[in-house]
């Protein structure tokens, strides 16, 4: 094995552990300074997006979110637990991969959500549109307000 391969394996293992830790603390990864990220836990207007406000039971809303992601042809859930998930969305033309993180918070009846591009600077609003499309789909199922 080359040094690059070993470094990559170590980097990916640490990256996965980081995502698991942030979910257990009910914190989404922060957005970088670039405009290609939205998060319901962002503290600035450029990156902030409203969390999903659960209108029924938290379990029904969480299952509906997972179904919505699973039913999308270019999204796949890569990690999940009882109250957090990580998914990847791949763009149609260039194959860019964006990360989607969600945390279920049944104490506040919220699903915190984040969508961010892995590369580049601008996303032309794609991440915001993606989250709003998920919100619209879950509203049609009457699981969030």
The closest alpha carbon to 114, from 48, 15, 43, 19, belongs to 48
CATH number of 3-140: 3.30.310.80
State yes or no: pLDDT of 63 exceeds 80. yes
pLDDT digit string, tens, across residues 71-120:
998 999 999 999 999 999 998 888 889 999 999 999 999 999 999 999 88
Give the Cα separation of 98 and 6 in Å (integer).
24
């Amino acid at each position: 094995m080359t040094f690059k391969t070993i470094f990559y394996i170590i980097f990916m293992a640490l990256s996965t552990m980081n995502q698991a830790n942030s979910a257990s603390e009910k914190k989404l990864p922060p957005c970088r300074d670039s405009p290609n990220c939205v998060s319901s836990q962002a503290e600035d207007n450029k990156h902030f997006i409203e969390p999903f406000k659960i209108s029924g039971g938290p379990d029904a809303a969480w299952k509906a979110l997972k179904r919505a992601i699973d039913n999308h042809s270019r999204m796949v859930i890569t990690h999940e637990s009882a109250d957090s998930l990580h998914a990847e969305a791949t763009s149609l033309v260039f194959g860019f991969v964006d990360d989607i993180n969600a945390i279920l918070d049944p104490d506040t009846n919220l699903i915190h959500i984040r969508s961010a591009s892995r590369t580049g600077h601008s996303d032309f609003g794609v991440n915001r549109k993606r989250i709003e499309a998920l919100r619209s789909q879950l509203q049609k199922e009457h699981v969030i307000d």
